Amino acid sequence: MSAPRPVALIDGNSFYCSCERVFRPSLDGRPVITLSNNDGCAIARTAEAKALGIKMGQPWFQIKHLEQDAGLVAMSANFELYADLSDRMMTVIGQYGPDQHIYSIDECFLYLDGVRGNLTDYVQQIRARVLQWVGIPTCVGIGATYTQAKLANHIAKKRPHWRSVCDLASMPRGAMATLMREIGVGDVWGVGRRLAPRLQALGIHSALDLARADPAAIAKEFSVVLARTVRELRGTPCIDLGDDGTAKQQIVTSRSFGRPVVDQAELAEAITEFTSRAAQKLRGQGSKASAIQVFIRSSPFRPKDRPYSAATTIRLTSATQDSTALVNAVLAGLRAIYRPGVLYAKAGVMLMDFQEEHIEQLDLFSPAPAGPGAARDPGGTALMQTVDHLNTRFGRGAVRLASAGIEQGWANRQERLTPAYTTQWGQIPIVRA
């Protein structure tokens, strides 16, 4: 346990929508939303869109009428653009302190110990530079712990006249308590929609109530996780976010289909494509997988259509990062769980049980290399490197396994996709004088 250091949580406002506004200033002041894959539901909303009553995750078909009725602008999610602007934003913020932790595509923690003078003034400089250099508006919360910083960020968003910054770390206890009394317990980081009602039933309604609860009693009644939240609210750091460079422990690639899929051959195409993408991520972090899971399911929203959901996990005889080996395993798994006559809505794969790629655990039953100096490439490493290189250079899917299909009629609908303004030469905006 370490002494509290002031930490800031900096996040982009309505991040995906703000990215779109960077290249379409005419969207300023208008209600804008970004749609999930398949144009399924709203995953980012500007303040104007929230004011129309649009909820996070709300299905598009329920709000589509607002295009006509309220001038709503909806766009398909353009993750290539968002990832690039995220990199730029994080780089700018990272210049303001040596200890930055990128928590998600649109937010990061930045430690502020050692900053001389007023912390609010300091983070206002960061906000101004991110806005000027990247074009993204931000909010900042400062606290003695991650959970306090999150809470402060929430407060900053609720009080526009604070100019988007709230510093709980420098605030007198009484003032902090007054603010925390006004925040619902469900708005505390770590309290979701299941825990909130249970806490309320015990008389814990506000962030302040939770901060004043007994951590031991909370651990007993709920979990050690929630007890940590209590201590963090009180200003004792006890959450470890790990290193940013740490490799993922599992890699998931899954998609809802653009239309129902019945045919096993078509499912096999999709599964092949997902496995190839997952394997590329696996190689990108220098890991090999020892197991892979495949799952298929019908739509949970159409229970009349013969509900079916199945998954199976395939253990590999030795860990690999070779797409073809992983695809072969997963297709065998698919054959085992496929049922004819089901309208499949979604499928996916999950790579698990990783090893570092330089560790060579030979399969007991595979043939030994044929003599000294034999040209041996157990993971298909050279081929996979070439494939990854070509796909990075020429765009995803430039080179792929034939079994992933050419037409890919099951693929996403993305009818409102904006250009990749910053990462594709052909889509860079041209400004004419």
Residues that bind DNA (CB under 7 A): 11, 36-38, 40-41, 43, 56-57, 59-61, 103-104, 106-107, 150, 188-196, 223-225, 242, 248-256, 260, 281, 299, 301-302, 313, 345-346, 348, 412
| Residue 284 Cβ vs DNA, minimum distance, rounded to whole Å | 10
Nearer to DNA (CB atom), residue 122 or residue 257: 257
Using left for φ > 0, alpha for ψ between -120 and 50, and beta otherwise, residue 135 falls in left
| Residue 278 Cβ vs DNA, minimum distance, rounded to whole Å | 8
| Residue 373 Cβ vs DNA, minimum distance, rounded to whole Å | 37
Q: Rounded to an integer, what distance in angstroms lies between the CA atom of residue 112 and that of residue 123? A: 9
| Residue 230 Cβ vs DNA, minimum distance, rounded to whole Å | 14
Nearer to DNA (CB atom), residue 181 or residue 248: 248
| Residue 212 Cβ vs DNA, minimum distance, rounded to whole Å | 19
Tokens linked to 30: 């208008």
Nearer to DNA (CB atom), residue 115 or residue 318: 318
Nearer to DNA (CB atom), residue 122 or residue 410: 410
| Residue 183 Cβ vs DNA, minimum distance, rounded to whole Å | 13
| Residue 108 Cβ vs DNA, minimum distance, rounded to whole Å | 11
Nearer to DNA (CB atom), residue 61 or residue 386: 61
| Residue 165 Cβ vs DNA, minimum distance, rounded to whole Å | 18
Nearer to DNA (CB atom), residue 91 or residue 250: 250
Nearer to DNA (CB atom), residue 97 or residue 348: 348
| Residue 146 Cβ vs DNA, minimum distance, rounded to whole Å | 10
Nearer to DNA (CB atom), residue 276 or residue 412: 412
Nearer to DNA (CB atom), residue 115 or residue 414: 414
| Residue 120 Cβ vs DNA, minimum distance, rounded to whole Å | 22
Nearer to DNA (CB atom), residue 37 or residue 164: 37
CA nearest to 299, candidates 356, 336, 259: 259
Strand arrangement, sheet containing 100-104: 100-104, 107-111, 7-12, 138-143, 165-167
Q: Helix/strand/coil (H, E, C) string of the chain?
A: CCCCCCEEEEEECCHHHHHHHHHCHHHCCCCEEEECHHHCEEEEECHHHHHCCCCCCCEHHHHCCHHHHHCCEEEECCHHHHHHHHHHHHHHHHCCCCCEEEEECCEEEEECCCCCCCHHHHHHHHHHHHHHHCCCCEEEEEECCHHHHHHHHHHHHHCHHHCCEEECCCCCHHHHHHHHHCCEHHHCCCCCCCHHHHHHHCCCCEHHHHHCCCHHHHHHHCCHHHHHHHHHHCCCCCCCCCCCCCCCCCEEEEEEEEEEECCHHHHHHHHHHHHHHHHHHHHHCCEEEEEEEEEEEECCCCCCCCCCEEEEEEEEEEEECCHHHHHHHHHHHHHHHCCCCCCEEEEEEEEEEEEECCCCCCCCCCCCCCCCCCCCCCCCHHHHHHHHHHHHHHCCCCCCCHHHCCCCCCCCCCCCECCCCCCCHHHCCCCCC
